[in-house]
């Protein structure tokens, strides 16, 4: 295993971020294909609900939450027993996890109508959407087993600082869905079923792509069902609570779909497309930071280096501010233009664009809190504090339910998106308070100066965008070519104004890349 150094944060962050960017671009292409071929209607509502549980599992397992539990475990195992210990633990975990997820999948298939009802009662009771969602759930549920294995294998590779293959694996889901939409859908009586087949095929591919890297590391052996292994029992018994501790946002998104099923047809799809655009900054920045920081924090804590722990966390928080502030402003102001450019079509009309745009504006308020959670929760877990994130996650879900009840009737689906964003802010604030109280990190005078400069640069960028972007009706009436060129110019100029302002007021690259003092 390569030695851990603070300077290693920049390399995996940019490396993982670049591959995440590739995957997110494919994700946009995927959503563009779905919107163009299938629109926003009862059929797409049914698919998005059938995909909701597997997709939630993917986000819980494969986008860093599972790694928060596993990477510190594998790091400690390697420190004690070397590669042999890691190989043995991987064999025990892979066999036991597969059997456990297989049982859950079978039970879920047997209770498919109930599962759909619990996810979206409005869909389940609909004579058109309900049967479609149930039939597609049969195809998508096995993805639970496959994505669990994908996350497990990826956690091992991340422990050894092999970030490339796990970062590329999510792209296979997008490639599979796009391919099936074009190649399989035209040959089916119900074309929407091609997307369900795409999910299943993607799961198989995501497992297979990681095996060669593990073979090269000599870490692969036959899976074993081994519940007697204390570490396996620790992972299985703590997996649910630990993953929940960093994934309250995903639970809240699931609840938002539940409530949206009770609203007008298309509400689930509007939230879905807005959520997908929200995932662009979260998937690139959050996944990159979260994946890169977990092994570094775990190693720093194991060797007792409080300064390295503080410095790593401080650098991550600075990146969150530097990238998250302009991302929030850009998504809020340009929500409708972006959605119009990507999805506006005969099947995704002006009304759909505006509805999805309003949802994205609300979701965007949660960008910085959600990025912060990706860093602050691992800071707790890496120090052996699992109870704090779990307790805060429970409070966050309760906060979201209260906010949903307040905002759903006056604001509809956009109110549900706003509830998710505000609940994420509540989560991040409580985690920040816990980290500050623990002494693992502190807000220095230098940090406050950096924060103030980021705010000033973002405000100037917001003012310029507000003056130059024009009305939403202009964007809806423009051609795709004119739309894309105008949006591209706005984004490029906004970035230049933001970076130029930062430079003029004293922010330099060293404020992001260099080790910070406590």
Taken in order 415, 417, 423, 426, the sign of the CA dihedral is negative
Evaluate if residue 516 carries a pLDDT over 60: no
Residue 177 domain-assigned? yes
pLDDT value for 282: 79
pLDDT value for 361: 95
User: Nearest-CA neighbor of 361 among 339, 331, 338?
Assistant: 331
With helix as H, strand as E and coil as C, how does 473-494 read?
Answer: HHHHHCCHHHHHHHHHHHHHHH
Using 50, 70 and 90 to split pLDDT, how confident is the model at 289? confident
pLDDT value for 13: 58
Residue 33 domain-assigned? yes
pLDDT value for 272: 86
Report the b/e string of 138-148 with b at 16+ CB within 10 A.
Answer: ebbbbbbbbbb
161 token code pair: 């600082």
CB within 8 A of 383, min separation 6: which ones? Answer: 297, 301, 309, 438, 440
Residue with tokens 């390399």: 11
State the alpha helices, DSSP H only, in 111-142.
Answer: 112-119, 121-124, 129-140
52-56, 351-355, 441-445: range with highest mean pLDDT: 351-355
Query: In this structure, what are the phi and psi dihedrals at residue 419, rounded to the nearest 5 degrees?
Result: -60, -40
Residue 88 domain-assigned? yes
Evaluate if residue 1 carries a pLDDT over 60: no
Evaluate if residue 110 carries a pLDDT over 90: yes
Using 50, 70 and 90 to split pLDDT, how confident is the model at 518? very low
**Domain that residue 105 falls in:** 6-513
198 token code pair: 């795409």
Rounded mean pLDDT of 60-75?
A: 69
346 CB-contact burial (10 Å; exposed 0-12 / middle 13-18 / buried 19+): exposed
Residue 1 domain-assigned? no
Of 288 and 2, which is predicted with more confidence? 288
Residue 166 domain-assigned? yes
Evaluate if residue 460 carries a pLDDT over 80: yes
**H/E run at residue 11:** helix 10-38
- Beta-carbon-side half-sphere exposure of residue 286 (alpha carbons within 13 Å): 28
pLDDT in tens, 298-336: 777 777 777 888 888 888 889 899 999 999 999 999 999
Residue 19 domain-assigned? yes
CA angle, residues 55, 60, 66, in degrees to nearest 5: 145
Rounded mean pLDDT of 107-133?
A: 87
Percent with pLDDT over 70 in the chain: 88
The mean pLDDT of the chain is: 84
* Helix axis angle, 413-438 to 267-281, nearest 10°: 30
Domain count of the chain? 1
User: Nearest-CA neighbor of 259 among 125, 493, 416?
Assistant: 416
Residue 99 domain-assigned? yes
Rounded mean pLDDT of 102-106?
A: 92
Residue 518 domain-assigned? no
């Amino acid at each position: 295993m390569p030695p851990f150094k603070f300077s290693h944060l920049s390399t995996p962050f940019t490396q993982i971020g670049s591959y995440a960017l590739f995957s997110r671009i494919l994700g946009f292409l995927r959503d563009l294909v779905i919107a163009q071929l299938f629109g926003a209607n009862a059929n797409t509502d049914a698919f998005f609900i059938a995909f909701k549980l597997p997709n939630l599992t993917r986000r819980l397992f494969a986008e860093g939450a599972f790694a928060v539990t596993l990477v510190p475990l594998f790091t400690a195992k390697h420190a004690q027993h070397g590669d042999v210990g890691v190989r043995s633990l991987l064999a025990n975990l892979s066999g036991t996890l597969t059997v456990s997820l297989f049982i859950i999948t079978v039970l879920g298939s047997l209770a498919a109508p109930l599962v759909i009802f619990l996810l979206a009662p409005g869909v389940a009771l609909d004579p058109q959407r309900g049967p479609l969602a149930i039939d597609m759930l049969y195809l998508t549920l096995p993805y639970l087993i496959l994505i669990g294995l994908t996350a497990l294998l990826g956690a091992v590779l991340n422990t050894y600082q092999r970030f490339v293959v796990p970062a590329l694996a999510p792209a296979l889901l997008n490639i599979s869905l796009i391919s099936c939409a074009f190649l399989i859908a035209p040959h089916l009586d119900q074309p929407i079923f091609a997307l369900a087949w795409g999910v299943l095929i993607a799961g198989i591919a995501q497992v297979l792509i990681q095996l060669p890297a593990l073979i090269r590391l000599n870490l692969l052996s036959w899976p074993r069902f081994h519940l007697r292994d204390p570490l396996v029992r620790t992972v299985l018994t703590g997996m649910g609570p630990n993953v929940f501790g960093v994934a309250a946002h995903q639970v809240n998104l699931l609840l938002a779909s539940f409530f949206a099923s009770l609203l007008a047809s298309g509400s689930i799809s509007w939230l879905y497309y807005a959520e997908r655009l929200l995932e662009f900054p979260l998937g690139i920045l959050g996944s990159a930071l979260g994946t890169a920081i977990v092994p570094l924090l775990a190693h720093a804590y194991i060797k007792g280096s409080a300064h390295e722990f503080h410095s790593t966390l401080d650098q991550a928080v600075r990146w969150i501010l530097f990238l998250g502030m302009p991302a929030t402003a850009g998504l809020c102001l340009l929500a409708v233009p972006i959605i119009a450019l990507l999805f506006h079509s005969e099947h995704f009309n002006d009304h759909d664009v505006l509805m999805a745009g309003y949802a994205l504006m609300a979701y965007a308020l949660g960008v910085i809190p959600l990025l912060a959670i990706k860093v602050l929760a691992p800071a707790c877990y890496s120090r052996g504090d699992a109870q704090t994130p779990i307790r805060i996650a429970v409070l966050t879900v309760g906060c979201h339910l209260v906010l949903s009840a307040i905002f759903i009737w006056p604001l509809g689906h956009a109110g549900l998106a706003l509830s998710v964003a505000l609940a994420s802010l509540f989560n991040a604030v409580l985690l920040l308070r816990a980290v500050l109280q623990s002494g693992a990190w502190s807000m220095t005078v230098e940090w406050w100066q950096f924060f103030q400069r980021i705010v000033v640069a973002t405000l100037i960028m917001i003012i310029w965008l507000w003056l130059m972007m024009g009305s939403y009706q202009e964007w809806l009436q423009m051609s795709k070519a004119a739309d894309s060129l105008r949006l591209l110019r706005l984004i490029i100029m906004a970035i230049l104004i933001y970076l130029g302002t930062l430079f003029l007021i004293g922010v330099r690259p060293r404020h992001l890349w260099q080790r910070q003092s406590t």
